[in-house]
Amino acid sequence: MRDVPTTAPVVVDAMGGDHGPAEIVRGAVQARREHGVPVVLTGRAGVVRAELARLGAVGEIDVAHADDVVPMTERGAGAVRMAHSSLAVGLGLVRDGAGAAFVSAGSTGAVAACATDRLGPAPAVLRPALAVALPTTAGGATVLIDAGATVDPTPEMLAQFALLGASYAQLVLGVADPRVGLLSIGAEPGKGNRLTRRAETLLRDLPLRFHGPVEGGDVLTGVADVIVTDGFTGNVVLKNVEGTVRATLALLATEVGTGAGAGVGAVDGAGAGAGVGAGVGTQDVAGPEALRRVAGRYDPETHGGAALLGLTGTVVVAHGSSRARTIARACVVAHDLARGEVVARLGDRLAVRPAR
Amino acid sequence: MRDVPTTAPVVVDAMGGDHGPAEIVRGAVQARREHGVPVVLTGRAGVVRAELARLGAVGEIDVAHADDVVPMTERGAGAVRMAHSSLAVGLGLVRDGAGAAFVSAGSTGAVAACATDRLGPAPAVLRPALAVALPTTAGGATVLIDAGATVDPTPEMLAQFALLGASYAQLVLGVADPRVGLLSIGAEPGKGNRLTRRAETLLRDLPLRFHGPVEGGDVLTGVADVIVTDGFTGNVVLKNVEGTVRATLALLATEVGTGAGAGVGAVDGAGAGAGVGAGVGTQDVAGPEALRRVAGRYDPETHGGAALLGLTGTVVVAHGSSRARTIARACVVAHDLARGEVVARLGDRLAVRPAR
C-alpha cells in the first residue's frame, strides 16, 4: 500500500447517492465534527460550497471541483470513461497520495469499476474483494467477502479474500482472532464445487483461524466472523438476504391482514413450522415499529458500508439511499481501514501458494 | 424416459425421514385413499406391515422388503454402497419398470447420489437437477433449479435445467407458459460470471419464455416462474432463504422482547428502513400465530418436495421432518411428474447447441 500519512483526509464523493449532495455534505461535516475524521469533498464546487454554507462549514472542509456526475443507473464501464466525474477526481486524489481513502454513495458497480481502474491492485494482491458486514442473530456481525467485485476468482484469490476479510473484521469490528468460514454446501469431504474444494485445502494452510465450510443457512447466525465466497455467489447471497427479509415481513403483514395461512404452490403443504419462531411468547406481539426496526437492520442503507479491499487505497461504498449518519459512519470506517493498512499488515502472508 | 404404464405405482421409501415409518406409511395410505395414487412401500416388511395394520390397510398396499436403512446422517457415497437399503430396493423397482416414481424423506444427498447411480440420466439429458418450489410474496411459487444436484454444470447443462424447470412448472404448478429467469448479479450486458454469460446466449435461443437475468433479491418476488442456476449457488440460496426467514423472525422476537433496536457491527447505522414493511398498518400487530405461519411457509418441511429431474425415472425428495400430509403431497407430485413424463415431452428440444 502506498505511503500515505495517517493524517491524510478521507475523500468523500459529494455527488453520489439518492440524497446527495445535501445529505452527503452533512455526513462529511458530522464525520469531521463528531468523530475527528479529516475529510475533503469532491463534486461541483458551487453546489457543495452552498451546502457547506448552510451548515456554517465553509473553510472547514476543502472541496475538489469535478465537472461531471456519474448517474446512479451507471453500473460499470460507462463510469470508467468519465474522466472528470466526482468519482474520477476523488479516486485521483487517493491515487496521488492526497487522500487516505475514498467514500462514495454512488452505484457499487460504478465505484468498484472506477476504483479498480484508477487505483489498481495493491502489491501481492491478485484481485480486489468487496466486504460487507451483516448483523447476526447472535448480536454481532459477519463479514461477507467477496460480495461482488471478482465474479470468477481462482482458489488463490479466495484464500486472499479470507486474509483481507479477517483483517477487516479485526480493524472494523474489533474481533481479535476472527473465525473464517468458507461458504459451501455441506461439511463432508468432497462436498462443494471445484473452486471451494481447492480453496479449502489452501485455507487450511493459512495463518488464520479457519472454521471450515459453512452453508447458506449460516450467513446470519454468527457461526463465523468472516464468510468467504466468490463475488458471484456473494452478490447473490447479499441480495437474497435483503429480499428474503423484505419478503418475510411482507408475508407477515399479509398474515396480520387476512389471518389466513393458505399454502401456495402444489408442493406446498400446511406444516406447522414448529420450532421456528418459538422464542416468541404467547402474549407477545410484533407491532409495526418492531417490523420496521428489523427491516432497517437488513435494509441496504443500514449495513451501510461495503469496503472494496485489496486496492492501492481504501474504498468504502455506502448505499445509494444513505443519509448523513450513514455517510459519517462510512467515513469513520474508511479512516480506520486506511490507518490500519489492511493489505500492508498482511505482508508475506498474502503470498498464497498455488492450489494443488 | 423408459416405457412405464401410467398406472405403475409410486414407490415410497418407508424408512426415510425423522418420523418414519409411522408417518411415511400414514402418508402413503392417504395418497392412495384420498388422492387415488397407487403406491408401494419399501422397507423392513415386518415394521411396515405393523404400521399398515394399525391403519387397517394390510393388503391394500404392497410392501417390498429391504433389510437395511440408510441413516439420515449419510449424505452421499456411503448410501450408494448399501445394496440392500430401502433406497436401493425402491430405486431398483423404478429402474426395472415396476414403479413409476420414487418418493423418499431420506437425506437429500443420499437420495440424489443413489438415484443418479441406479437410474442414470435420461436419454439426451446431460446431468440431473433438483427442482424446489418456493412460495412467493406474489401468492404463487417460483421453481428454483438446480438446488444442489450438479454443482459444476456447463452452460449447456444450465440450458437443459431451464427446460426441465419449465416442464416442472407446467406439470406441477399448472403454469401454462412459465417465465424463466437466469440467476445472476445484474441485467446489464457483460454482468454475471463466465457460466451465466455463456448460458444466457443459449437461453435466448431456446423455445421457452426467457425473462432474462434475475438477482438474488428476486427469488421470492414471483418475477419469474422458474429461476435457473448451478447446483452450488442454488443450494446456497435455498438454505439462505430458510436461514434468513428464521433470522428475521428471531430478530422480531427479540425486538418484541426488548423494544430496543440497537445496531450491531461497526458499519451498522441506525437507519429507519423506511419503505420496507410499510404494508403494515399502524394498528396492526403480528402475533405469535402469524409468525409461526410465516415460518411454516419457508420451513423446509412445508415446501415439502424437491424433485430430482432428468433421470430415467422421477424422484421426489421430501424433507426429513415430513409428516403424513407432506408425504401424501409428495406422492401426488411424483405421480403427476411420472404421468407427464418431464423428459420425454421435451423431446428434441433437449438437444441444446453448445455455447459459443
pLDDT tens-digit series, residues B15-61: 988 888 999 999 999 999 999 999 999 999 999 999 999 999 999 99
CB-hemisphere CA count at 13 Å for B222?
Answer: 11
A215 contact residues in B (CB cutoff 8 A): 235-236, 239
B35 contact residues in A (CB cutoff 8 A): none
User: Domains in chain B and their CATH numbers?
Assistant: 1-125+310-340 (3.40.718.10), 127-254+294-299 (3.40.718.10)
Nearest neighbour of B294 by CB, restricted to A246, A255, A271? A255
Question: What pTM does this model have?
Answer: 0.85
Residue bearing the bigger pLDDT, A283 or A150: A150
pLDDT band at B287 (very low <50, low <70, confident <90, very high): low
Give dist(CA B8, CA B40) in Å, integer: 10
Mutate to test the interface with B, among A248, A254, A258 (most CBs of B within 10 A): A248
B232 contact residues in A (CB cutoff 8 A): 185, 192-193, 196, 233
B56: left (phi over 0), alpha (psi -120 to 50) or beta: left
Give dist(CA A63, CA A66) in Å, integer: 9
Mean pLDDT across B61-90: 91
pLDDT at A215 exceeding the cut of 70: yes
Residue A212 β-bridge partners: A181
The per-residue pLDDT for range A71-97, each reduced to its tens digit, is 888 877 788 999 999 999 999 999 999
pLDDT at A287 exceeding the cut of 90: no
Give dist(CA B353, CA B205) in Å, integer: 9
Burial of B348 (0-12, 13-18, 19+ CB in 10 A): exposed
Query: 3-state SS string over B79-105?
Result: HHCCCCEHHHHHHHHHHCCCCCEEEEC
Please indicate whether, in this complex, the C-beta atoms of A267 and B141 are within 8 angstroms of each other.
yes
A229 contact residues in B (CB cutoff 8 A): 236
pLDDT band at A256 (very low <50, low <70, confident <90, very high): low
pLDDT at position B261 is 33
Residue bearing the bigger pLDDT, B77 or A181: A181
Can you tell me the ipTM of this complex? 0.84
A173 contact residues in B (CB cutoff 8 A): 265-266
| Å between A344 CA and nearest CA of chain B | 22
Mean pLDDT across B305-317: 90
Residue bearing the bigger pLDDT, B282 or A178: A178
B109 contact residues in A (CB cutoff 8 A): 186, 188
Mean pLDDT across B122-138: 92
With CA atoms as reference, the chain A residue closest to B305 would be A267
Please indicate whether, in this complex, the C-beta atoms of A253 and B133 are within 8 angstroms of each other.
no
pLDDT at position A240 is 96
Give dist(CA B157, CA B160) in Å, integer: 5
| Å between B64 CA and nearest CA of chain A | 26
A315 and A115 Cβ atoms separated by less than 8 Å: yes
pLDDT at A268 exceeding the cut of 60: no
pLDDT at position A336 is 87
Residue A133 β-bridge partners: A143
Other CB atoms within a 10 A radius of the CB of residue B345 amount to 13
Comparing CA positions, the residue from B209, B177, B204 lying closest to residue B189 is B204
pLDDT band at A178 (very low <50, low <70, confident <90, very high): very high
Give dist(CA B121, CA B171) in Å, integer: 20
Give dist(CA B330, CA B327) in Å, integer: 5
Cell 388422492 locates to: B35
pLDDT at A269 exceeding the cut of 70: no
Whole-number mean pLDDT of chain B? 84
pLDDT at B278 exceeding the cut of 80: no
Chains A and B form CB pairs within 8 A to the count of 409
Percent share of chain A, pLDDT over 90: 60
A115 and A311 Cβ atoms separated by less than 8 Å: yes
Nearest neighbour of B186 by CB, restricted to A75, A186, A219? A75
Give dist(CA B143, CA B133) in Å, integer: 4
| Å between B262 CA and nearest CA of chain A | 9
Whole-number mean pLDDT of chain A? 84
Please indicate whether, in this complex, the C-beta atoms of B137 and A185 are within 8 angstroms of each other.
no
A76 contact residues in B (CB cutoff 8 A): 188, 190-191
pLDDT at B322 exceeding the cut of 90: no
Please indicate whether, in this complex, the C-beta atoms of B239 and A256 are within 8 angstroms of each other.
no
Please indicate whether, in this complex, the C-beta atoms of B304 and A280 are within 8 angstroms of each other.
no
What the block records as the C-alpha cell of A260 is 389466513
pLDDT at position A273 is 26
pLDDT at A101 exceeding the cut of 70: yes
A317 and A309 Cβ atoms separated by less than 8 Å: no
pLDDT band at B254 (very low <50, low <70, confident <90, very high): confident
pLDDT at position B356 is 60
Nearest neighbour of B185 by CB, restricted to A219, A232, A267? A232
Give dist(CA A126, CA B304) in Å, integer: 43
A255 contact residues in B (CB cutoff 8 A): 286, 290, 293-294
Percent share of chain A, pLDDT over 70: 86
pLDDT at position A72 is 82
